[in-house]
Amino acid sequence: MGLKFDSRWEAERWGQIKSMERAGIVINLDRQIKFPIVMNDIKICDYIADFVYDLKNEDGTISHIVEDAKGVLTPEFRLKKKMMLAVHGIDILLTYKNK
């Protein structure tokens, strides 16, 4: 049973991150992680991250990464990105195929 991806870029990026995991640069890799966005005890929506992992930096520190492989920045995604920062303190890393 193969993994399902929303886009070719997301599948390609998964392969890149898996290579980084094999090299020991990435640990605790997971995908399609759901973050509930709740404000004033009211659930507004969920954000589902493409990838979540810990990145070993060159200086020996570890960065917790929540990543979205993007083709198009929709108005809905832009809003969820802002809400993730406001509610969870998480600045989503955006990756693009041609950037």
Secondary-structure class of domain 8-96 per CATH: alpha beta
- pTM as predicted: 0.90
* Cβ-contact 85, 94 below 8 angstroms: no
| 9-35 tens-digit pLDDT | 999 999 999 999 999 999 999 999 999
Q: Could you tell me which of 44, 96, 46 has the C-alpha nearest to residue 68? A: 96
Mind listing the pLDDT tens digit for each residue in 39-76? 999 999 999 999 999 999 999 999 999 999 998 899 99
CA distance 84 to 88: 5
List Cβ<8 Å contacts ≥24 apart for 71-80.
71/7, 71/9, 71/96, 71/97, 80/37, 80/45, 80/47
Residue with tokens 């991150």: 17
